[in-house]
Amino acid sequence: MTFEFDRDTRLTARGPGSGAGTGTYDADLAPGWVVGGGVNGGYLLAIIGRAVQNELAATGHRDPFSVSAHYLSASVPGPAYVETRVVRTGGRFSTVAATLYQDVDGVPVARIASHATYGDLDRAHDERSDLEAAALGLALPPPDLPPLEECVLSSDAPAEIKKIAPLLDRFGTRLDPATAMWAVGKPSRRGVIQGWFKLADDRPLDPIALLLVVDALPPVTFDLGMPGWAPTLELTAHVRARPAPGWAAVRHQTRTVAGGLFEEDCEVWDSTGRLVAQSRQLALQPRG
């Protein structure tokens, strides 16, 4: 069987350049990842992540460590392509510039401009550095989530919501009820949304899928009583470890809303409680 995520992030290398430092990869943005006014930013980031991975196939640097993306315009379902250019390679890391485009009336329109630094997460976790880190005891612990069965399945949203957010059906997200009261008109106003996460068809998480996970919960502004789409200006994701199989825990939080903008911090822990990804995005406050 092919999982939805793999099917919908499949790429075709264009021409002979791909893998040689500058490659172009064709994608087809699937309508199932639409939310509100555009295609989900995490899904797009994963497509970019896969293009970079393909371009770096010969280097052994297969894992994203840091991907920073500036969102330029809203993507729509249909053909898209990622142009990649290796800006540095060698040693422990490679860095690639990658831009996602869609042609509009025959004119290329840039959707996302990004840089990605890749390496090998297995090599990063050598015994010595992990022992040192364990001795420090410095590791961000996962949130204290209620058991799965007490959490709210976000794909149980009303049909009129799912019509504008078919994305919800891609995920098995179960939200902590204390951070989901906005769904019944009672936002906590703390600026936190958290819960358990898996893909709906149980596709295992891996470093590329984590690029999706960091943007897979509803905008944290929902919990501030601000419904509506919150367009991302910039999102940087750091993958900190290869995730173990099973449910992930995810927390979104904002601490400062000002000047029409807010930051949304996301952390992802795997089923063993290890922090596997962190991200921060700067987004526009919804014009409610």
The binding site for its own copies (CB under 8 A) comprises 65-66, 68, 70, 72-73, 87-88, 93, 95, 97, 99, 110, 113-115, 117, 121, 124-126, 129-130, 132-133, 136, 138-140, 189, 191, 224, 233-234, 236, 238, 240-241, 254-261, 263, 274-275, 278, 280, 282, 285
Nearer to its own copies, 59 or 68 (CB): 68
- On the 0-12 / 13-18 / 19+ scale of CB atoms within 10 A, 156 is exposed
Q: Is 81 helix (H, G, I), strand (E, B) or coil?
A: strand
Residue type, position 132, single letter: E
Q: How far is the CB of 158 from its own copies (least distance, A)?
A: 26
User: Measured from the CB of residue 42, what is the shortest distance to its own copies in angstroms?
Assistant: 17
**Closer of 152 and 213 to its own copies (Cβ):** 213
One-letter amino acid identity for 249?
Answer: A
**Amino acid identity at 21:** G
For the bound state, the minimum distance from the C-beta of residue 73 to its own copies, rounded and expressed in Å, comes to: 7
Which residue number, 32 or 49, has a Cβ lying nearer to its own copies? 49
Contacts of 71 (CB under 8 A, 6+ apart): 41, 111, 112, 231, 232, 233, 234, 235
- In the complex with its own copies, the residue whose CB is nearer, 200 or 284, is 284
Structure tokens that stand for 61 in this block: 């640097």
Query: Least CB distance from residue 76 to its own copies, whole Å?
Result: 17
85 closest CA partner among 122, 115, 109? 115
Rounded Cα–Cα distance for residues 259 and 156 (Å)? 34
Backbone angles phi, psi at 278, to 5 degrees: -135, 145
Q: How many CB atoms lie within 10 A of CB 14?
A: 14
201 vs 263 by CB, closer to its own copies: 263
Residue 283 CB, nearest approach to its own copies (Å): 10
